[in-house]
Amino acid sequence: SSLVSVLFLYVIHIVFEQPLIPQFCVVYFKDCPQQPNIPSYLLGLALIPLLMIPFMTLPCESQAAQPQELPKEFLYTSHLIFLSHASTGDVWVFSVYQPNYDPTAADGLYCDKTLYTFALLNAVWETIVLWFNLAKLCKGLLCWVMMSPATANTDFYGHV
What pLDDT sits at residue 57? 64
Q: What beta strand segments (E) does the chain contain?
A: none
Side-chain half-sphere exposure of 44, counting CA atoms within 13 A? 19
Tell me: pLDDT of 157 over 80. Answer: no
pLDDT class for 142, splitting at 50, 70, 90? very high
List CB contacts of 69: < 8 A, sequence separation 6 or more: 59
Name the more confident of 102 and 91.
Answer: 91
pTM: predicted TM-score of the whole model, two decimal places: 0.67
82/13 Cα distance (integer angstroms): 17
pLDDT class for 135, splitting at 50, 70, 90? very high
